[in-house]
Chain A
Amino acid sequence: MIMELKKFGTTLISRQTGKEAFLAFRPLSKGAKEDEIIELNFDGVLTFSPSWGDEFLTPLLNIYGNRLILKNTSNPSVKATLEILETTIGKEFRKI
């Protein structure tokens, strides 16, 4: 399953919109097969922040673990956010 994060917007910075995005994505991701990879593509995202990421990525990482893969994470705010979330939650995201 592939999700283009830019479909939620290109400036992903508030907790409220991160939570809404998670609630919108959750029913879609529930349709994934048991061993299916959940790929989140950051291509086109201009700005990303820990608040949005914590509401969207942290619960997905807790649910899917290694099945969650992040793609195109070279944007500096995406990189910095992932680093701080990994430090806080003590888990690493799989990135390609």
Chain B
Amino acid sequence: MQNKDSRDLFSLLVSAAGEIGNNSYDHNLGQWPDIPGIFFGYDLNKKQIVLVDRGVGILETLKRVRPNLKNHKEALETAFTEVISGREPEARGNGLKYVKKIISENPINLFFRTGDARLALNGNSSNLNMENVKENIRGCLALISY
């Protein structure tokens, strides 16, 4: 990868990781169920960045403003496609849409888990690949690869 290309890509990777990590704190402040904070790790050789929290998760966060959300998968889809915030009336809710946008235009991939839902976003594509899984996890897990 050439210097300018890698500089451009890293600019986007850092901002995407920043948005995901910031969400963990913004939406769990004062409400961490057990362990506060996030796990953050990266490996430049493997080209992977991981962010994990044991917060309340996307469904519980968005249910505050969308009480009719039925499950984690629905909440995950809403979070990545609609400008909506679990901290209304604050004007928030851009973060995950931003992550989706830059992935759709760049060679960056995202694997995301919350509750029993799983999402995969592949680089240079705007398709949301979502499914339910058997194992239910607390909080959120994000794996960014490039």
The interface of chain A, by Cβ under 8 A from chain B, is: 11, 13-15, 46-51, 54, 58, 75-77, 80-81, 83-85, 88-89
Contact = CB atoms under 8 A, between A and B. Distances in A.
A50 B94 contact: yes
B15 A77 contact: yes
Interface string B87-104: 000011111011001100
A4 B101 CA distance: 27
B19 interface: yes
Contacts of B83: 88
A13 B98 contact: no
Counting contact residues on chain B (CB < 8 A from A), the size range is 20 to 34
Interface string B44-79: 000000000000000000000000000000000000
In terms of DSSP, what is the predominant structure of the interface of chain A? Answer: helix
Given A13-B18, A13-B22, A88-B83, A51 B95 contact: yes
B3 interface: no
Contact of A47 (B18, B91, B92): B18
Please list the 4 inter-chain residue pairs (A to B) with the smallest Cβ-Cβ separation, ordered nearest first. Answer: A13-B18, A50-B94, A49-B15, A77-B15
B130 interface: no
Contacts of B95: 49-51
Interface of B: 8, 10-12, 14-15, 18-19, 22, 26, 83, 91-95, 97-98, 101-102, 105-106
B94 A80 contact: no
Given A51-B18, A84-B94, A75 B26 contact: no
A84 B98 contact: yes
10 contacts: A15-B22, A15-B92, A49-B19, A50-B98, A54-B91, A77-B11, A77-B15, A83-B101, A84-B94, A88-B94
A76 B11 contact: yes
B85 to A, nearest CB: 10
A44 B11 CA distance: 12
